[in-house]
Structure 1
């Protein structure tokens, strides 16, 4: 059965900070705008238990901040559709077609703000224990380990923040980091190291997951001495980096060696009317504020592109 076809001016792919910001500005400029999200609205920052570096907010959570931005986008007139997976895209100077589970969209302009996905644990047992002891979202699954000893893998901002957040449930949190020092901001590290429930194991990596139906034990290896240690834990939360969600755009848009979309400070890609914003764009600095900046720039330039397109006909 043929899917319904929807024509519109602007389709924004991704409802994180960049996508929502783009939606706010585009809708304010009276552009017919749809923000398409295949997961939860909010993107990566949704998991942040504390946000202290966003201007105008002394302290908030990622979820609270994203909900405000979501409401702002809809108040301005942007439509937001979540949990509709993109199946295929065609992005050329003349044709832009995005097929999802539910619809076939034919926008005149596109802003790709798809963000990144978490890097999964590179072990063969990961698939067996995923959601059965191995998790990637502490806000979603942390409550499952009330009063239990658990493990967090990753010494960056996400891993350290998750470890702190999980102490509200767990009796003890072991933070596993492959290096000799953590990589999160100093203030967050201080908070982590002051928490009596958290123990950091440096220079360690996960080599094996064990258990029958669910995770029961984790084998760690010291990266220097190669000595192995087995620890019994029913749950592990993994934060070992991100991968840009750009695979389906590769046939049409230039990507850098890391898989990020090549676009200038104007957020314009090599395809006319297609823009990239946020963490998915190739750039040096990736912060919440730079994602919002990209969304703003992309939306304003998309509106100008649409206006010129209208006048050229």
Structure 2
């Protein structure tokens, strides 16, 4: 069981591939990290079915099974798990503090792996059909739609990237966009518009998903905005590509974020605060893959360990900066 009145060497916020990998590496360094699982233990992969592109599984692996195996591996090496969601963090003084409701924890080094949440359409059954014809990741799921017909919702760069990727497998890709012009960059627009397998439906939204959990998706209900006319459009899958929201509300105003709200990192996974690291989708607006998240979790763990090793080193510039911050927080010169 975690001890709340002690100062932990390392606390990891968030599970998923980044958090679990960070836990495996830190635990193997004899640090006995504390991992706070978050509101979705295991991350987005717990809502998927077959994962075919994670190395080491030639026949694929179920997302929940992969996450459970990672958790067991982290637990085997000594990771302590806390179920719950962090409600507040305080990074103005060291050791750093965080709260789960009224429960208070402190740590010398913090690894943030809170991920990013895909924007969804808000339709009643889209979560029920997630992984059964509804997807937010063309790279993850495109292979399953070889020779089939799919819909991509969106008009930005992500939607065009997804449509172009899916066109390698699908018989037909239909991009449904609520406006009459794309928002994607001109090169991306040109590539998509010139692809013979991609067609476009303009001024239209998806306001219904046709299908059930047993048989999956078999169509989309489209509404033409200028006229209000609805039609049922047959398809085998719906890819929602309207962006992601990084889960960074906890650290807004305390860590440097980019214009989209992702944590800015440098030299791997370092943030602007010594001893605070970020890994996975919370700092990655581009790749958002399980394997890239796991890789950054490994980097964060190793960098956190190096930080702890040099914390008392008077010659370490990072530690000097941290000590200066502590002095300023106490009102010193």
Deviation at 1:65, TM superposition (A): 1.1
> Corresponding residue for 1:146?
none
Partners of 1:118 and 1:136 within 8 A in 2: no
Mapped partners of 1:239, 1:73: distance in 2: 33
In structure 2, the CA distance between the partners of 1:201 and 1:250, relative to structure 1 (3 Å rule), is same
Larger radius of gyration: 2
Alignment of 1:219-230 (within 5 A): 220-222=222-224, 228-230=229-231
Partners of 2:16 and 2:42 within 8 A in 1: yes
Mapped partners of 2:4, 2:74: distance in 1: 25
Answer yes or no: is 1:287 the counterpart of 2:289. yes
TM-score, structure 1 as length reference: 0.70
Answer yes or no: is 1:53 the counterpart of 2:62. no
Mapped partners of 2:284, 2:150: distance in 1: 34
- Aligned residue pairs total 269
In structure 2, the CA distance between the partners of 1:202 and 1:155, relative to structure 1 (3 Å rule), is farther
TM-score, structure 2 as length reference: 0.66
Partners of 1:10 and 1:111 within 8 A in 2: yes
Mapped partners of 1:81, 1:237: distance in 2: 35
In structure 2, the CA distance between the partners of 1:282 and 1:156, relative to structure 1 (3 Å rule), is closer
Alignment of 1:262-281 (within 5 A): 262-281=264-283
Partners of 1:12 and 1:110 within 8 A in 2: yes
> Corresponding residue for 1:303?
305
> Corresponding residue for 1:13?
13
Answer yes or no: is 1:62 the counterpart of 2:63. yes
For structure 2, the 5+ residue unaligned runs are 174-197, 209-219, 315-322, 324-333
Answer yes or no: is 1:109 the counterpart of 2:109. yes
For structure 1, the 5+ residue unaligned runs are 143-150, 165-172, 194-199, 210-217
> Corresponding residue for 1:31?
31
Mapped partners of 2:21, 2:313: distance in 1: 26
Alignment of 1:7-156 (within 5 A): 7-58=7-58, 59-82=60-83, 84-92=84-92, 94-101=94-101, 103-121=103-121, 126=122, 133-136=124-127, 138=129, 152=134, 156=138
> Corresponding residue for 2:205?
206
In structure 2, the CA distance between the partners of 1:11 and 1:269, relative to structure 1 (3 Å rule), is same
Mapped partners of 1:187, 1:238: distance in 2: 12
Deviation at 1:227, TM superposition (A): 6.7
Q: What are the superposed Cα offsets for residues 87-130 of structure 1, whole Å, 9 maximum, x if unpaired?
A: 11111362411111252111111000100113143xxxx4xx7x
Mapped partners of 2:302, 2:117: distance in 1: 27
